[in-house]
Amino acid sequence: MQSLLIICLLASLIATGMSLMCEICEGFGHTCEGPLHPCPSGFDTCGIIQTEGTVGPQIKATVKTCFPVSACEEGFAVVNLGSFGTLATKVTCCVGHECSKVPHTLPPINTHLNGKICPACYSMHSFTCKEEIAQCTGDQQYCFEIAGTSNMGFIF
């Protein structure tokens, strides 16, 4: 019975020792630094989310965390808020030292008008806003609605 307990204990220690470790941090600017943490089950790669916003003052933010590998397909996305500004986000997946080699800049935003229009509005500290029309650019083909709050204190 005692040997079964020892085997179970060793198995749990081995499993814990083999889990993926990722740097976990969030901050303003092109990068952030934080401690390594084990990733939960189902999160099988490390990744970096870089965001730049021109909503109000220009903001740059970085989040490093554990990801499910399916999130690696997200790549680069731009949200066009018309005269309220833009939010550009890039997701990059990496493991270990590869994460330190990720470029600290986002690709340029294609500003060529493509003829698509969408309703747009943005508001801080309120869930209501005055809607306007956003002229879509580049490969922006879809309109969508999103509402929420930020947990990092971002002003966008």
Give percent of the chain with pLDDT exceeding 70: 83
Phi, psi (deg, nearest 5) at residue 141? -120, -10
Let me know: does 53 contact 78? Beta carbons within 8 Å.
no
Three-state SS at 147: coil
- pLDDT mean over 64-80: 89
User: Quick check: pTM over 0.85?
Assistant: no
Q: Break the chain into its structural domains and give their ranges.
A: 19-137
Examine the pLDDT at 117 and tell me if it is beyond 90. yes
Q: Distance (Å, rounded) from C-alpha 82 to C-alpha 70? A: 30
What integer pLDDT is reported at residue 127 of this predicted model?
A: 75
Number of H helices, E strands in the chain: 1, 9
Three-state SS at 101: helix
Nearest CA-CA partner of 101 in 113, 114, 92: 92
- CA-angle at 128, arms to 124 and 130, nearest 5°: 95
Q: What is the pLDDT of residues 121-144, one digit of tens each?
A: 887 777 788 889 999 999 899 998
Q: Tell me the pLDDT of the chain averaged across its residues.
A: 81
Examine the pLDDT at 9 and tell me if it is beyond 50. no
Q: Taking the domain 19-137, which CATH number applies? A: 2.10.60.10
Residues whose CB is less than 8 angstroms from the CB of residue 16 and which lie 6 or more positions away in sequence, other chains included:
38
Q: Distance (Å, rounded) from C-alpha 148 to C-alpha 12? A: 39
Strand-pairing partners, residue 36, are 23
What integer pLDDT is reported at residue 10 of this predicted model?
A: 34
